[in-house]
Chains A and B, each alone.
Chain A
Amino acid sequence: GNSVTQMEGPVTLSEEAFLTINCTYTATGYPSLFWYVQYPGEGLQLLLKATKADDKGSNKGFEATYRKETTSFHLEKGSVQVSDSAVYFCALKVDYKLSFGAGTTVTVRA
């Protein structure tokens, strides 16, 4: 079956620190990969995506590269801000179904 495993949190960082959240997947077929972000009290918002191997998704300073050889899609940001505090979900899509990881709570302190 399809599944996503992502780094357990919570993660607490200082402003301007480097953030990495690891994500690996298992899938049948050729999935598209996504990172979604959920701010408190809100729904999920798409952060970035990659649809094929070696694609790099980027948005708001976040990046992730689709690595087929390691079945990974790690999220990185070079300098986090307090406003990046949220829950981050890695997800894969096969056909029209999204499978999500458990989510990683990130807190950035000023």
Chain B
Amino acid sequence: DAGVIQSPRHEVTEMGQEVTLRCKPISGHDYLFWYRQTMMRGLELLIYFNNNVPIDDSGMPEDRFSAKMPNASFSTLKIQPSEPRDSAVYFCASSPPTGTGNIQYFGAGTRLSVL
């Protein structure tokens, strides 16, 4: 398996623009997680899905952030409008069904810079 695939790897945009980050989880995994990594706050869980349904979005910083999972093989994290303080590395992770260790497998991340 190719692992969790995220795109783009790098994104540079200007303040106020819409940004969409994409994630393809490992096939057969039914949990999907979005994290944000910054120097100040470390790794933070933003939201996670189970069977394409959002379960916990308490980590989403504000209404400018939204996430969707239209099917088992694709998820997006959208920021609209983007702000400089959103600059971070965003990771997607997926996890197999309950009872198989629930280990989370991470993608390589998207480095977002908002100018």
Contact = CB atoms under 8 A, between A and B. Distances in A.
Interface string B91-105: 101010000011111
B108 A96 contact: no
Interface residues of B, number: 22
Contacts, number: 44
Interface stretch (A16-24, A39-47, A68-76): A39-47
Interface stretch (B12-20, B40-48, B60-68, B80-88): B40-48
B107 interface: yes
A60 interface: no
B91 A44 contact: yes
5 A-B pairs with the lowest CB-CB distances in the bound complex, closest first? A43-B106, A100-B43, A44-B106, A43-B108, A102-B42
Interface of B: 4, 31, 33, 42-43, 45, 48, 50, 55-56, 91, 93, 95, 101-109
Given A89-B43, A103-B42, 5 more contacts: A45-B106, A96-B55, A97-B48, A98-B33, A102-B42
